[in-house]
Amino acid sequence: MTVTALRIHGPGDLRLHEEPDPAPGDGEVLVEVTAVGLCGSDRHWYLEGSIGDAGLDRPLVLGHEFAGVLASGPDAGLRVALEPAVPCGACGTCRAGLQHLCLQQRFAGHGTTDGALRTRLAWPRALAFPLPDDLPDVEAALLEPLGVALHALDLGHVRAGTAAAVLGCGPIGLLTIQALHAAGVEVALATDPLAHRRAAAARLGALAALAPGDVAAAGPFGELGVDVAFETSGEDDALADAADVVRPAGRVVLVGIPDGDRTSFPASTARRKGLTLLVSRRMRPGDLERAIRLARTGHLHLAPLVTERHPLAGFGAAFASLAGRRGLKVVIEPQADRPVAPPPGTADPAGPADRSR
């Protein structure tokens, strides 16, 4: 039996390969991959052949937002969402409960660890979590970014009555807006360069959805500003806006990944206000399970975020949309053999390119 895998060989160079069926190691099971969400980090790999300080040293299978069906072991047939990070479990960082910061961890679609853009993979059984029957696989591909949003909320110390801003309305930003609402937090401001993403933010409850250039003219959001701002675009201008709209002694959580591995901001504003800047990395252990529980409540709307679905063979169109940042979330379904229409009521995926995640 063979596996069809999509590998990136260099910037813009994606190729399908037929490869031997993976052999599960100790504690691993085979997984039939059913849905993979394309992420802003996948966009960095596709356009730059790298992300941060990590580069390609061999053709790599991307994809870390994934759902599938267990194909081996006593739970074969179980639908699952999968945690993409495999920490070493033995270092001091892991023993301190900070497995998401483990320097020895393996991560799907990063470094030397192949990801989920293939028809089948072997993955640790302990990192596969059952899905509710009423949560479709294509929506389950959004659970990992939802877990990222939940971790960011924890860093922001949000609670009912907090006022927040979200700078960048790609999928992570839109999931952050929804998670904030589920926590009883008012989203006073959302920003994005693209009109269709601002419209999505407004539909999901942002009180003001503005283009970045309109923030300064809009005045303060609240008496002194919002309590916490989430920068989810990876853009320096968004970080500057975040510092502007947060109240003195407020918090700014950096979630977006910048181009070129550099971030800067006006120091005078941050110093004058005494802001706390926090850098968010992926999600912590348990956040994927929290995301599943939150999705079951019905307080989030995942289906409208999926604006394109493609089979694995349709990777060209899928990555073109990702590169151009059209629509919202692009999902690849490795078991599908033809394009599938987006769910009813989703936003028009067509739109100009932007630079927000």
Whether residue 304 is predicted with pLDDT greater than 50 in this model: the reply is yes
Q: What is the pLDDT of residue 344?
A: 41
Does residue 162 lie in a domain region? yes
Q: Are residues 121 and 174 in the same domain?
A: no
Q: Give the pLDDT band of residue 50 (cuts 50, 70, 90).
A: confident
Q: Tell me whether residue 176 is exposed, middle or buried, using C-beta atoms within 10 angstroms of its C-beta: 0 to 12, 13 to 18, 19 or more.
A: buried
Instruction: Give the residue numbers spanning the domain of 134.
Output: 2-142+302-333
Whether residue 251 is predicted with pLDDT greater than 90 in this model: the reply is yes
Q: Are residues 155 and 133 in the same domain?
A: no
Whether residue 99 is predicted with pLDDT greater than 80 in this model: the reply is yes
Counting the structural domains of the chain, the total is 2
Whether residue 219 is predicted with pLDDT greater than 60 in this model: the reply is yes
Does residue 158 lie in a domain region? yes
Q: Are residues 135 and 249 in the same domain?
A: no
Q: Are residues 327 and 207 in the same domain?
A: no
Does residue 130 lie in a domain region? yes
Catalogue the long-range contacts made by 200-208 (C-beta closer than 8 Å, 24 or more residues apart): 200/169, 200/174, 200/304, 200/305, 200/328, 200/347, 201/166, 201/169, 201/173, 201/174, 201/177, 203/304, 204/174, 204/177, 204/178, 204/301, 205/177, 205/178, 205/181, 206/166, 206/177
Interval 154-196: pLDDT, tens: 999 999 889 999 999 999 999 999 999 999 999 999 999 999 9
Q: Are residues 48 and 95 in the same domain?
A: yes
Q: Are residues 6 and 130 in the same domain?
A: yes
Does residue 262 lie in a domain region? yes
How does the average pLDDT of the chain come out, rounded? 89
Q: Give the pLDDT band of residue 350 (cuts 50, 70, 90).
A: very low
Strand duo 306-311 + 2-10: pairing? unpaired
Domain containing 217 — which CATH number?
3.40.50.720
Does residue 285 lie in a domain region? no
Does residue 349 lie in a domain region? no
Q: What is the pLDDT of residue 260?
A: 75
Interval 180-191: pLDDT, tens: 999 999 999 999
Q: Are residues 41 and 57 in the same domain?
A: yes
Q: Are residues 138 and 168 in the same domain?
A: no
Q: Are residues 271 and 164 in the same domain?
A: yes
Q: What is the pLDDT of residue 222?
A: 66
Strand duo 306-311 + 13-20: pairing? unpaired
Domain containing 54 — which CATH number?
3.90.180.10
Q: Are residues 270 and 309 in the same domain?
A: no
Does residue 355 lie in a domain region? no
Q: Are residues 129 and 235 in the same domain?
A: no
Query: Pick from 279, 312, 347: which residue ends a domain?
Result: 279
Interval 8-33: pLDDT, tens: 999 999 999 999 999 999 999 999 99
Does residue 340 lie in a domain region? no
Q: Are residues 180 and 261 in the same domain?
A: yes
Interval 235-247: pLDDT, tens: 889 999 999 999 9
Helices (H) and strands (E) in the chain, counts: 11, 20
What percentage of residues in the chain have a pLDDT greater than 70? 93
Give whichever of 41-50, 216-225, 337-346 has the largest mean pLDDT.
41-50
Q: What is the pLDDT of residue 348?
A: 37
Whether residue 329 is predicted with pLDDT greater than 70 in this model: the reply is yes
